[in-house]
Amino acid sequence: MTVLIILAVLFIALVVIVPLIERSNFRMSGEQMGKMGRWILPLLVIMVVIQLVMYYVN
């Protein structure tokens, strides 16, 4: 039952947020995307390490 509630909330959020983003004039330049993309891999590695530590501590 919890899974269905989570899926419903995600679907409603998707239906509401996607049109709002499409209507806005939010645009990113290639330079801005490059700066953000540089952070994604290190943050993912940190997240995996933290999840592994949490798994093995419990």
pLDDT (tens digit, 9 = 90+) per residue, 3-25?
A: 999 999 999 999 999 888 888 87
Q: Tell me how many degrees the CA angle 46-28-9 measures, rounded to the nearest 5.
A: 65
The pLDDT of 33-56, averaged and rounded, is 93
Write down the residue that tokens 């499409």 correspond to: 22
Residues 29-37 have a mean pLDDT of 87
The per-type count for the chain, helices as H runs and strands as E runs, is 2, 0
Compute the C-alpha angle 2/5/17, nearest 5°: 140
Confidence of residue 56 (pLDDT cuts 50, 70, 90): very high
* Domain total in the chain: 1
Q: Whole domain around residue 42: which residue ranges?
A: 2-57
